[in-house]
Chains A and B, each alone.
Chain A
Amino acid sequence: SQKIEQNSEALNIQEGKTATLTCNYTNYSPAYLQWYRQDPGRGPVFLLLIRENEKEKRKERLKVTFDTTLKQSLFHITASQPADSATYLCALDSSNDYKLSFGAGTTVTVRA
């Protein structure tokens, strides 16, 4: 069956450190993968998209990697700040389809 797994444990890190989140998938062949941020009581907000032929994508302090052999994406927040505290969701398409399948998310808390 199809499965998307993100870090099962919440991530607690010190301000200034790098947070690394994982997204592993099974029985998908995504053409692209997206990362979203969700704050309590709000809908997800798009952060980054990476295509299957891209190894790495950066946006400000965010970095995403995509390894289609390992079936894994890593999401890094460098120089983390308390304002980065949120739940981060990975989402991928089902074989180049408009429909996105989401992971359950990883909650990150950055301590000042």
Chain B
Amino acid sequence: GAGVSQSPSNKVTEKGKDVELRCDPISGHTALYWYRQSLGQGLEFLIYFQGNSAPDKSGLPSDRFSAERTGGSVSTLTIQRTQQEDSAVYLCASSPQGIVPDTQYFGPGTRLTVL
């Protein structure tokens, strides 16, 4: 079946603009995760959804970052007033149940460049 998809694949924006990144998880997966990957760094956890609820937002770097999930499916990560340090690859993953342990299935990522 279809894997996790993300759009856009690349986004170039100017400092101060808002951006929206979209994630379509695998159908039926209840858990959804957002990560950020900077060059040469490990994946940095941002937020976790179980269904439409986000029990853990602890990884969001600042209040400029927000995310929502609707219908237990699509999720959108929004970054307001983008800064150059926001440049990174944003990865979305989904997993069947969000219980321990659970394999995470990743999308290809959105490469964000803030000029």
Contact = CB atoms under 8 A, between A and B. Distances in A.
Interface of A: 4, 31-32, 34, 36, 41-46, 49, 51, 89, 91, 93, 96-105
B99 interface: yes
Interface of B: 4, 31, 35, 40-43, 45, 48, 56, 91, 93, 98-109
Contact of A43 (B4, B41, B45, B102): B4
B98 A98 contact: yes
B45 to A, nearest CB: 6
Nearest to A105: B42
B78 to A, nearest CB: 20
Given A43-B106, A43-B109, A99 B101 contact: no
A98 B100 contact: yes
Contact of B101 (A31, A41, A102): A31
Nearest to B101: A32
B39 to A, nearest CB: 10
Contacts of A96: 100
Contacts of A98: 31, 48, 98-100, 102
B106 A44 contact: yes
B107 A43 contact: yes
B48 A43 contact: no
Contacts of B48: 98-99
Give 9 closest A-B pairs by Cβ, nearest first.
Answer: A43-B106, A102-B43, A102-B42, A104-B42, A32-B101, A46-B103, A44-B106, A103-B42, A43-B91
